[in-house]
Structure 1
Amino acid sequence: MADFATLDELKGRLDWTLDADEERIATASLEDASDLARAYAGRDWEPVTAAPRLVRTMVLKACKRYMNNPSGFTQSRAGDETLAWNDDAGEDAGTVYFTKDEQDMLANLGGRRAGLVSAGVTAWNSNIRRYRSRRSWRSGNDLPAGFVPAGSGKDVPFFGDEVEPW
């Protein structure tokens, strides 16, 4: 699979010239970020040029973040050479990662929208019949009904009404 961004595009976002070892790391980070983008989006765009431009931007942003701090340091000092890292940065420290907002945006770009979904429910193996209610809920109109098998051997009516469900 092709990456969403090129090494030259990443080089254009960095403040320094990469040596051969850094180019190798940057190439691997582009591959990792592209794979992560596909995973969070829940889809692949073939060809990669069909992907929204924002996907490429987020891949480059994640790679730049990683290249600026590949070890995941949270503190650095020039005098007496103090370097520190901790677990506050989470498991993503020192790796290519997308922030929570970026993950959500990739999911939206891939068509994976979060939210509630309403689904109709019907009992398995139920018989859908027309049922005329003895109570005239809607002036004696027939109501659609299902009959749900019960343990006693008698089918139990299962129906709804647009105005008064039960």
Structure 2
Amino acid sequence: MAVFATLDELKNRLDWTLDADEERIAESALEDASDLACHYGKVWEPATAPRMVRTLVLRACKRYMDNPQGYTQSRAGDETIGWSDATGRDAGTVHFTKDEQGMLRALAGGKPGIYSAPISAWGPQRKRPVGLVPDEGSNEPIQYFSDESPW
């Protein structure tokens, strides 16, 4: 499967040096993010994929590597760190946000929007004179009202 970013590119975005275990996890995260990019976009080849695909893969992997357990808050002594809980069930996994998913779809050529389709009524179209309505029992319309004033 195509991997859109290298481990070295991911290491350049992280604030710390990865140990051997973290490198293994990071490589798996790059593969997972690349698979998801193909799922939300299309199956690109790494050489011909838009550069933004690589950027989005690296962004998702960095987000995962910064918080692999999906914690929303951590406390150690007097220090408390909080993370956004906006990811919900995706916290602690390699994932793309809704905006990133939309960007991948747009890069693949799928543009969301409103579409319309022509419609027509069933059966022949006949103009009925004013004041006549269809009669359920016969094919002839019946008089409902008249244009002529009764006064």
Query: Which bin holds the TM-score, normalised by the shorter protein?
Result: 0.7 to 0.9
TM-score (norm 1): 0.66
Listed as ranges, the matches of 1:16-165 within 5 Å are 16-41=16-41, 43-45=42-44, 47-79=45-77, 89-120=87-118, 156-157=123-124
* Greater relative contact order structure (CA < 8 Å, 6+ sep): 2
Deviation at 1:118, TM superposition (A): 2.5
Q: Which moved more, 1:83-92 or 1:24-33?
A: 83-92
Deviation at 1:88, TM superposition (A): 5.7
Corresponding position of 1:2: 2
The 1-side partners of 2:77 and 2:30 are apart by 34
Deviation at 1:10, TM superposition (A): 0.5
The 2-side partners of 1:37 and 1:105 are apart by 10
Give SS of 2:124's match. strand
The 2-side partners of 1:91 and 1:7 are apart by 26
TM-score (norm 2): 0.73
RMSD across aligned positions (CA): 2.6
The 1-side partners of 2:112 and 2:125 are apart by 31
Contact 1:73 1:83 in 2 (8 A): no
Deviation at 1:119, TM superposition (A): 3.0
- Deviation sequence 1:63-90 (CA, Å, 0-9, x none): 0010011001111112189899997641
Deviation at 1:20, TM superposition (A): 0.8
The 1-side partners of 2:82 and 2:15 are apart by 23
Which of these two proteins has the greater Rg computed from alpha carbons? 2
State percent identity of aligned pairs: 66
The 2-side partners of 1:104 and 1:88 are apart by 17
> Quick check: which one's strand share is greater?
1
Tell me the amino acid that sits aligned with residue 2 of structure 1.
A
Tell me the amino acid that sits aligned with residue 114 of structure 2.
L
Query: How many pairs are equivalent?
Result: 126
